[in-house]
Amino acid sequence: MNDKPDLAALFGATKTDTFLGLEKCENLEALSAPVALISALGATPYGSVGAYCRNAPDALRKATGALASNIDRHNFDLGGPTFPTQVTRAVDCGNLPFDDQDFAINRDTIHNAISTILTKSAVPVLIGGDDSVPIPMLEALGTTGDHYTVLQLDAHIDWRQEHMGEDMGLSSTMRRASEMDHIERIIQVGARSIGSGHSDDLADAVAWGAQFVPAHDLHRDGVQAVLDLIPAGSNVVICLDVDVLDPSIVPGVIGRAPGGLSYFQCLDLIRGTANKARIAAIDFVEYMPEADIGDLGALTVSRLIASTLGLLARQAT
């Protein structure tokens, strides 16, 4: 006999293989929704660890099971239902195929999927996977002919030229972004503690023109200090490494560091960006379910993704 109560049943939890029980879109060419959630198990992992975040997308989908039957209920984080209308509801496009050996194939797969989503006038919400996943997403945005501001939310600055002989890995994401002609501005928020970067990496970033609001400064000056750096009406790509959040609410990361952002600080940055500019794409990467504690990180990250889907739905109206 199992005496452990099924508390999720109180919320009408249902088994679902999509995020929030959203409708599936298995053919991107048939995409008609304004927001498309799609996931990549990895792109260019370092050989020493492999695709250590490959189980994140399915874990995050599972974490929303308790809410799937309540998707139309009032969301106090948004001031109304998550999706204001059926037409603005996002779809879940599932996991992209992943190759453990040929990383160029992974990058092409992500690039092609994001490019297709963009041609359908939808906003891609890319779920990783490690922080090498955003590189092909950022490259795909170059096919639109527009220019972009990158808002990176991350405990690390990711400006290494290469690491372990690999220049397309997770420690080089912003360095690679800076080399793309369509990326005209990089704003980096949340850096703290000792990371993998060196002081000369930071110097290179500053010389390029990247603007930094470290975690300590954000706690002192508030979210508005970041939003003031975003040009009104610009196209913004948000690259969100979940270790930007404090490990007390997202312990499932490889580099826990105290002093991270709160859930509402992150949400207010996303909301404020959507209100001032246009979010053209967003990724959520680096959640590692194997390092989580009691699924706390999955709860926090999946809730942040759900609220972001709602903000993007409102942006589409």
Residue 7 domain flag: no
CA–CA gap between residue 38 and residue 173 (Å, rounded):
19
Residue 195 structure tokens: 């990371």
CATH number at residue 311: 3.40.800.10
Domain total of the chain: 1
Residue 134 domain flag: yes
CA–CA gap between residue 41 and residue 64 (Å, rounded):
18
Residue among 237, 267, 287 nearest 125 (CA): 237
pLDDT value of residue 229: 98
Residue 1 domain flag: no
CA–CA gap between residue 240 and residue 286 (Å, rounded):
9
Residue 40 domain flag: yes
CA–CA gap between residue 301 and residue 61 (Å, rounded):
10
Q: Are 238 and 273 in contact (CB under 8 A)?
A: yes
pLDDT value of residue 16: 80
pLDDT value of residue 1: 46
pLDDT value of residue 168: 96
Q: Are 7 and 96 in contact (CB under 8 A)?
A: no
Residue 234 domain flag: yes
CA–CA gap between residue 42 and residue 226 (Å, rounded):
29
pLDDT value of residue 23: 96
Residue 63 domain flag: yes
Find the domain containing 287 and state its range. Answer: 21-316
Residue 12 domain flag: no
CA–CA gap between residue 277 and residue 273 (Å, rounded):
6
pLDDT value of residue 66: 82
Residue 29 structure tokens: 């060419």
| pLDDT per residue as tens, the chain (317 positions) | 456 666 566 566 667 899 999 999 999 999 999 999 999 999 999 988 899 999 999 999 999 988 888 899 999 999 999 999 999 999 999 999 999 999 999 999 999 999 999 999 999 999 999 999 999 999 999 999 999 999 999 999 999 999 999 999 999 999 999 999 999 999 999 999 987 789 999 999 999 999 999 999 999 999 999 999 999 999 999 999 999 999 999 999 999 999 999 999 999 999 999 999 999 999 999 999 999 999 999 999 999 999 999 999 999 77
Q: What residues contact 118, with CB distance under 8 A and at least 6 apart?
A: 124, 140, 141, 143, 144, 281
Residue 13 domain flag: no
CA–CA gap between residue 252 and residue 11 (Å, rounded):
24
CA geometry: angle 116, 126, 313, nearest 5 deg = 85
| Helix runs in the chain, H state only | 56-63, 103-119, 134-140, 173-178, 199-208, 215-221, 224-227, 263-276, 296-316
Residue among 127, 115, 121 nearest 238 (CA): 127
